[in-house]
Amino acid sequence: MKSSSCFCFSLLLFSVSLFGSEKKTNLILIMSDDMGYECVRANGGTSFQTPHLDELASTGARFTHCYSQPLCTPSRVKIMTGISNFRNYVQFGVLDRKQTTFAHLLKKEGYATCIVGKWQLGKQIDSPQHFGFDESCLWQHTRAARDQGKDTRYPNPHLEINGQAKDYNNGEYGPDVVTDYLCDFIERNRDRPFLGYYPMILPHDPFRPTPDSENPKSKDGTQNFRDMVAYVDKMVGKIVSKLDEFGLRENTLVLFTCDNGTSGAIKSELHGKIVQGGKRQMTDAGTHVPLIANWPKTIPGKQVIDDLVDFSDFLPTLLDAAKSPLPTNLTLDGQSFLPQITGKQGSPRKWVHCFYRVKGEGGKFQQWARTQRYKLYTTGKFFDVSQDRLEKNPLQKLDTDQKRIQEMLKGVLHQFSDSYQPEDEKKGLLPDAPPTVCKPADRNLFKGNNFSQWTKLNGQPVGKGWTITDGVVFRKGGEKDIITKEKFRDFSLSFQWKISAAGNSGIKYRTRGNLGLEYQILDDANHRDNKIPSHRAGSLYDLVPAPENKPIRAVGEWNHGKIVAMANVIEHWMNGKKIISVFWGTKEWEGVFGKSKYKDQKGFGSWEGPILLQDHNDPVWFKELHISRL
């Protein structure tokens, strides 16, 4: 009996181990070189033949808004580390050896790791292994791109395999060699989870014929580029076939993207319009790239996803697919897009940020932040890219929605540049607010002259300590705080308030219980808290003080206030002036937050929660509380 039990237990352990290994997802990330969004037929391009990529898109998901850096090294650094170039870019051709890559993290989770293709991230012999790759088959690792004036990547390539130089002299084609190495790696590791990262050599110039070109001596750069894109597609097909051969497709996530836009020498057609390549440019021509995700039976087919994807998102997505937690000691700028491609709602990002130091490393850099439609540069230029792809006509007169988006993007640029400060924000008060117009979409939180949208903190109906008369809400005491039944995170709240002599109150938002960000309401002249700047009227309570010259009115008079909370942007307005503008999650925020009474509240300032009107046992009046979701 004892022997039988031991046998069954051993069998159970074996089964669990086998089942666990089957559930680990294999990962293939392919990134072509200089091949913009318009080069994939599934995206609406008509100049190129990409049947294998089109099939992956048809049976999986493709994104319409994936954005890279404008140049290869910056994109490679960002995609491998999940961090903005603003934080960790060093110089062209170098990845800082202190950085952590997705290969490091997946190797710790038991993955076999391999990189093939183009390196260009450091010439130390151990560079690929230092950055977490068990195996490597690379061009431009320690060796130069040219030898005696001849390019070394295509016919008869000069490569390095695991750091050892290997020259091919019998007509071999570089992309075939490195692709075959990856296919061999897949075959050798088919019984364990693996990561294959393939930053391709193709279709970067020089534009030369491929083994499949009709004219092997062609000097027609445009036709050769077409043939090179077709060969990119062929190599993708070869890798997918290898996965099929060993029954690995249903357990493998395949991602395809590109490091930047197409070469400026190439013109092609997208949705019936001629597109000029824009590598090295900050426009869509330089940064809008394809993204296709395929994983049979896990990713539903025929998905076209309009969500934004930034290159920093690949690392957390790969870790998410591997069911591996992100290390707590890493501060990443990316977020996983796995939920969206697997049919879940997820939490799509609201913006993409690009920091780019131009080649030459002279210290000059450019930055923008964007949504799918709008783009804001640190110069203040603001474009509607959907109507102005080449960014020739900055917007001048903005409507209400454009102003809201511009403010949100300003917050992003603040987050990534301590020096960013538009001209109208360089002195005490911030710009005049536009007149408050309550659109039909705005919600009057006291519609009907009652508390039907409000409760006490314990969920009970609002009692007699709060009253409404002719639209004016009065706290006369005895009922404590009240909250909205509905929760809000991104919103604009417009209101009017009036405080009694020596009185104290506030409006809290993004709350949990009675904790949350607070627009402070106070009689600055007479309340005992007036000695603490961040406790005075209009301040972000206990965090950021309102300026001394804020336009507050006398006790007993009505003040107009506004709170804007949009992503990481927090604003307080008073009587038509913006008096607080902070950016949640930045270094500046963390410095202030760490000294506040809220420092032990994880996620404070980012929660979704009710709006709270505070009872401090002092008479206070509110009216015209109108809220709009953003």
Spatial distance between the Cα atoms of 137 and 490, rounded to a whole number of angstroms: 48
Mean pLDDT by 10 residues, the chain (630 residues): 43 41 85 98 97 98 98 96 92 93 97 97 96 97 91 96 95 97 98 98 97 97 98 98 98 98 96 95 97 97 97 97 90 93 89 80 77 95 96 94 89 65 38 37 82 94 90 81 95 93 94 96 91 94 93 91 90 91 83 90 92 91 91
pLDDT confidence of residue 211? 98
Spatial distance between the Cα atoms of 411 and 578, rounded to a whole number of angstroms: 14
Q: Check residue 537 and report its DSSP letter.
A: T
Spatial distance between the Cα atoms of 581 and 398, rounded to a whole number of angstroms: 20
**Residue 165 parent element (H or E):** strand 164-167
Can you read off the two tokens belonging to residue 408? 């949100």
pLDDT confidence of residue 362? 52
Residues with Cβ within 8 Å of 266's Cβ and at least 6 positions away in sequence, in order, are: 221, 222, 225, 276, 277
pLDDT confidence of residue 311? 98
Q: Check residue 250 and report its DSSP letter.
A: G
Instruction: Find out whether 563 and 493 touch, Cβ atoms under 8 Å.
Output: yes
pLDDT confidence of residue 477? 67
178-to-26, 30, 118, 436 alpha-carbon distances in Å: 19, 12, 9, 62
Q: Which domains does the chain have, with CATH numbers?
A: 22-357 (3.40.720.10), 365-420 (no CATH), 443-629 (2.60.120.560)
pLDDT confidence of residue 407? 86
Residues with Cβ within 8 Å of 229's Cβ and at least 6 positions away in sequence, in order, are: 35, 39, 48, 49, 50, 202, 203
pLDDT confidence of residue 417? 62
For tokens 């006509």, the residue is 393
pLDDT confidence of residue 480? 86
Pairing relationship of beta strands 252-258 and 135-139 according to DSSP bridges: unpaired
Angle at 570 between CA 393 and CA 482, to 5 degrees: 140
pLDDT confidence of residue 437? 36
Can you read off the two tokens belonging to residue 75? 């994109």
